[in-house]
Structure 1
Amino acid sequence: MPGSLKLTCHDCGSVNRVPAEKLGAGPKCGVCGAKLAEGKVHEMDLATLEKSVKADDLPLLVDFWAPWCGPCRMMAPEFAKAAQALAPDVRLAKIDTHSHPDAAIRYNIQGIPALILFRNGREVARLAGARPAAQIEAFARQKSPA
């Protein structure tokens, strides 16, 4: 792991530089004060997603979902559990494809829920369908080794 990591704040979109050894200490955004690697799932829009994919040094696992999707709603608590388990090594976020249909088009989402793992500015893996937390964790760890 490098001496410092770049992390995009999922609240304000600012890119922050965080010392790698301080990652587990709850670093905060220098602009808005939001926690950067707290083990929670953050809702985001397409612009913040694209910025985070391009800039971040940590893997980002994104859940593409919609509020009308029953399996998506059923998986939400499991995704939140996985976020806690994977922190601070992998950050988890979600994007509502109903409110942000451009995200579904941009990332060629054929069905939801759909998980995409990004690392080093590119997509590294996809997983379709609702999954329990253990499968989400295993997928993220297997596809984004440290």
Structure 2
Amino acid sequence: MGRRVLVGRSTPAFSTEVERGRLRFFARAVGQTEAVYSDLEAAAAVGHRDLPVPPTFLFCLEMDNPDRGKFLDDLGIDIRTVLHAGQEFAFHSQAYAGDTLTFRTEVRDVYEKKGGALEFIVRDTHVTRDGTPVATLTSTIVVRDPKADRR
């Protein structure tokens, strides 16, 4: 497999707007019952300029990338050999409904286990608002070598 050469490679950036309706739906879906995530008055009462983005909602917005499957396609990776192995979030500033956020992903690390049968690709997605850091989303995927099943 040997994809170590990918370290430092970036995907094209994309931007998406945070919509209030999606924030409210997400808050309900994940059981976030605090009014600050659904009611503008409650949000303003605690100092927010609009509905705040719940922490893991940024992962959902990352899925808005119109070319999200292109990274794996360009590498010739069959999606059936991929597992999501981990997700981490580092927050730098609060995002709100109405913000336009930009997402840029780069490969931070690639390493193998089990004699190359499993390849781990670690990617950092940098989320910004007008150039100001909002968060860094780190995801790790595992690519299984289909040939390793026949060894």
- TM band (smaller chain): under 0.3
* Bigger Rg over Cα: 2
Q: TM (normalized to structure 1)?
A: 0.27
Structure 1 or 2: more helix by fraction: 1
